[in-house]
Structure 1
Amino acid sequence: MRVKVLSRNPADYLRETKKDIHKVPRNYDPSLHPFEAPREYVRALNAVKLERVFAKPFLGSLDGHRDGVHYMVKHPTALSKLLSGSCDGEIRLWNLPTRTCVRTINAHEGFVRGLCYHPSGEYFFSCGEDMTIKQWSSEAPKKGQEEEPMNTILGKTPFHSMTHHWSENKFATCGQQVDIWDEQRSEPIRSFTWGVDSVGSVKFNPVEMNLLGATASDRSIILYDMRGSAPLRKVILKLRSNTIAWNPMEAFIFTAANEDYNLYTFDMRRLDMPLNVHKDHVSAVLDVDYSPTGKEFVSGSYDKSLRIFPCETSRSREVYHTKRMQRVVCVQWSLDNKYILSGSDEMNVRVWKAQASEKIGVLRPREREAFNYSAKLKEKFQHHPQVRRIARHRHVPKAIHAAAAEHRIIRAAQKQKEVNRRIHSKPGAVPFVAERKKHIIGEVE
């Protein structure tokens, strides 16, 4: 005789705890749920509303500097450490989880113009307007001992920026020229010049490690190869670029922060036209840094705000500001892709969440499932007018709102003027120029 026995898994219908909710079995047959799309739309609308309700990106402020924060650099291996340099020559080492300053160094006379860690994180370098490069140990001196640099290099001109090679014991500085230094020597092993008065910033490529890019006072962006004897290529824009940031996932892509309120993403293999023009700031963009994933970057501006841009879009997805924050001079994106750090003129370093509404801390499995479900719903209905309107709306300071409205009027007037000139001119006399080409003067090889 054959007997069939019913077997059930208790986990399918029993509660884990007494306070848990009862599990209700459901039949997911589409024919039994004719109003599934309207229900999902309502859920997407509620999800995007709750996202704005819980958007609280500001986490805390690190105060202690006695002058404006001019430069910051993150530790290459430790997430909890941050170095910041101020306009009075002081360097501070911060413990981010406790939001405390663990070390203070009176390093330079005048501005701290550059900071960079060795890839191992065992020591770091600083440079300033006092024409010196100093090497410091990452370990604080013992109690009673004075803070002394491990090594000091005297330069011939003031330095404007510095960057360390990602694998070798070499670093680069810029001022009146770009110099490549070996850590064991007191003279540069190579110098690059290309007919400019001064070079404002320099950055090593994290993928193609022998390449570096620099921004110069003649409104140009210059590319160098450390193995060569001369610069590679140069592109000249209408206004000066303040700094560049390399994409950590794509070797040829970099983004420049420009004085004309825009950011330009270039492919270094073709500099005659940027891949994208990122617009939303209403004043000069002073710094830019990529996320570790290479999909987004953060920018800090003279208009007292930070903006987060996806690489593929021309508009920002997020804007951060506070009442007390002044001009944002430097920004950094943490290596765990969760936090953003900003330094500004009013002597504070601020910590922000990269995702404004993200919950910080341990998530239970049901919470994680709910967040993932909401994210998929928002992605599915992202182009619906109501969902898109709520997701894109941001409150900004009155000055930024008024300036943005004024810039829209100016751009509309310029566009209409070009249309009128084309209508009242001979055919071909007023050619069409792509928006991405309008800001580029030319490329020099």
Structure 2
Amino acid sequence: MKVKVISRSTDEFTRERSQDLQRVFHNFDPNLRTQEKAVEYQRALNAAKLDKIFARPFIGAMDGHIDAVSCMAKNPNYLKGIFSGSMDGDIRLWDIANRRTVCRFPGHQGAVRGLTASTDGSTLVSCGTDCTVRLWNVPVATIMESGNSSACSSEPQAVYMGENAYWAVDHQWSGDLFATAGAQVDIWNHNRSQPVNSFKWGTDSVISVRFNPGEPNLLAASASDRSIMLYDLRVSSPARKLIMRTKTNSISWNPMEPMNFTAANEDCNCYSYDARKFDEAKCVHKDHVSAVMDIDFSPTGREFVTGSYDRTVRIFQYNGGHSREIYHTKRMQRVFCVKFSCDASYVISGSDDTNLRLWKAKASEQLGIILPREQRRHEYNEALKKRYKHLPEVKRIVRHRHLPKPIYKAGVLRRVMIEAERRKDHRRKAHSAPGSIVTEPMRKRRIIKEVE
């Protein structure tokens, strides 16, 4: 005689971490769940509203500089350390976790305009309007762990003198070379007191320079004559040049797609380009109402952050035309520099009011330890919002942002001006001979010419 016995483990029908809650098994047959769409839509609506309720992006400010913060640099090997330079020549190393200064590097007599760290994080390079480039030995791990500034040296490792003011500096992602931007683009080696190479294309000063993360010998620069240039260190002459209608203040390469870069422009927009094809921009990123001063890509390559003269910080998708998020405070003034943290979780901004501010990259993200059930719930809510994002009510809640009155009014005025220009072009085209006027999209219209 055979006897069959049903045997079940307690773990199979109770929830984790609580043995008193019974697990509910759902039947997903559409015939039995006729209200599935309506229930999911309501959940998506609630998830969008909860995001607004828990949106607290501002974490804290790091106060210590006595003049405007002009530049910042990340340490690739140490997550919670960041360097900042100000207009009075002061350079500081900050502990982001405790929001305090752990080291200072005095020496510059004028404004510090550029900061960059080597790939191993042991060397800091700074440049400024006092016509000097300084190399600092920075044992960041020792300084952070000990908690005192005695481990950092107050004297620079090397000082290089130039004939003109320097406006930007960037270190090679893999190698011992770094580039400075001033009257020309100079390529330096750590062990030599003179530039190993110099590039000059035109007479105006270069204001930004960035090395490519995928190809160590390729770098992009922007100049005050509204041009964007590509240089290759393996040849003696510049590679390509693009002239736009307005000046480009900063450039950032996409770390996941090293052939693409995004330029922060004076005309309130950012333009993404493919370095292999300069005849038009890949995407135009709008929403700022004043000049975009700085830009930095997330390590994931999916987003970038911008700081503007309109006193706001915005986060864009790498292929999105409008900003995903906008950050502002009552006391924050014109933003001169922005950086994504090395783990893509935080954004740091430096502004004219002498403060560095720390923000969450996702405004409603929960900080601290998240239980597995909480994590699954967050993922479920994100999937719901993504599925129903095209519906009017969910779309309105997700897109809505409270803005300061001056920025809101400036945005309304800018939209009125753009609409008036579009209407004028449409009427001119309608009252002209067919084919005599060709309307180009903004991706091409902002480019004057390309110089090989």
Scaled by the length of structure 2, the TM-score of the pair is 0.96
In 1, distance between residues paired with 2:330 and 2:246? Answer: 29
CA contact (8 A) 1:261 1:285 kept: yes
- Match of residue 200 from structure 1: 207
SS at structure 1 position matched to 2:84: strand
Alignment of 1:253-402 (within 5 A): 253-402=260-409
1:49 corresponds to 2:49: yes
In 2, distance between residues paired with 1:208 and 1:142? Answer: 36
Worse overlay, 251-260 or 415-424: 415-424
1:227-259 Cα deviation digits (max 9, x unpaired): 110100011100000010000011210000000
Q: What code does the residue aligned with 2:104 have?
A: T
In 2, distance between residues paired with 1:406 and 1:391? Answer: 23
In 2, distance between residues paired with 1:181 and 1:300? Answer: 29
Worse overlay, 223-232 or 17-26: 17-26
CA contact (8 A) 2:14 2:21 kept: no
Scaled by the length of structure 1, the TM-score of the pair is 0.97
In 1, distance between residues paired with 2:256 and 2:14? Answer: 46
In 2, distance between residues paired with 1:441 and 1:124? Answer: 37
Displacement, 1:19? 8.4
- Match of residue 79 from structure 1: 79
In 2, distance between residues paired with 1:198 and 1:82? Answer: 28
SS at structure 1 position matched to 2:445: coil
Displacement, 1:398? 0.5
SS at structure 2 position matched to 1:32: coil
CA contact (8 A) 1:290 1:297 kept: yes
The answer for unaligned runs of 5 or more in structure 2 is none
CA root-mean-square deviation: 1.5
Worse overlay, 155-164 or 255-264: 155-164
- Match of residue 435 from structure 1: 442
Displacement, 1:349? 0.3
1:340-397 Cα deviation digits (max 9, x unpaired): 0000000000000001111011111110111111011111101011000100000111
Q: What code does the residue aligned with 2:120 have?
A: S
In 1, distance between residues paired with 2:210 and 2:103? Answer: 26
1:280-311 Cα deviation digits (max 9, x unpaired): 00000000000011111000000000111111
In 2, distance between residues paired with 1:347 and 1:355? Answer: 25
SS at structure 2 position matched to 1:214: strand
1:406 corresponds to 2:410: no
- Match of residue 227 from structure 2: 220
SS at structure 2 position matched to 1:274: coil
Worse overlay, 415-424 or 266-275: 415-424
Displacement, 1:57? 0.4
- Match of residue 119 from structure 2: 119
Cα distance 1:142–1:65, how it changes in 2: closer, same or farther (>3 A)? closer
Alignment of 1:61-210 (within 5 A): 61-139=61-139, 143=150, 147-210=154-217
Displacement, 1:312? 1.3
Cα distance 1:15–1:38, how it changes in 2: closer, same or farther (>3 A)? closer
In 2, distance between residues paired with 1:144 and 1:27? Answer: 64
Displacement, 1:107? 2.5
- Match of residue 420 from structure 1: 427
CA contact (8 A) 2:285 2:320 kept: yes
Q: What code does the residue aligned with 2:436 have?
A: A
SS at structure 1 position matched to 2:395: helix
Q: Which portions of structure 1, spanning 4 or more consecutive aligned residues, are displaced by more than 3 angstroms?
A: 14-22, 139-146
- Match of residue 33 from structure 2: 33
SS at structure 2 position matched to 1:163: strand
SS at structure 1 position matched to 2:444: coil
CA contact (8 A) 1:196 1:216 kept: no
User: Share of identical aligned residues, percent?
Assistant: 49
In 2, distance between residues paired with 1:77 and 1:406? Answer: 45
CA contact (8 A) 2:180 2:209 kept: yes
Count of aligned residue pairs for this structure pair: 445
Q: What code does the residue aligned with 1:437 have?
A: K
Worse overlay, 10-19 or 244-253: 10-19
Displacement, 1:13? 2.8
CA contact (8 A) 1:307 1:319 kept: yes
In 1, distance between residues paired with 2:87 and 2:224? Answer: 21
Cα distance 1:210–1:146, how it changes in 2: closer, same or farther (>3 A)? closer
Displacement, 1:113? 1.1
The answer for unaligned runs of 5 or more in structure 1 is none
CA contact (8 A) 2:102 2:149 kept: no
1:385-413 Cα deviation digits (max 9, x unpaired): 10001000001111111011111111111
- Match of residue 4 from structure 2: 4
Displacement, 1:146? 6.9
- Match of residue 250 from structure 1: 257
In 1, distance between residues paired with 2:329 and 2:83? Answer: 22
Worse overlay, 121-130 or 325-334: 121-130
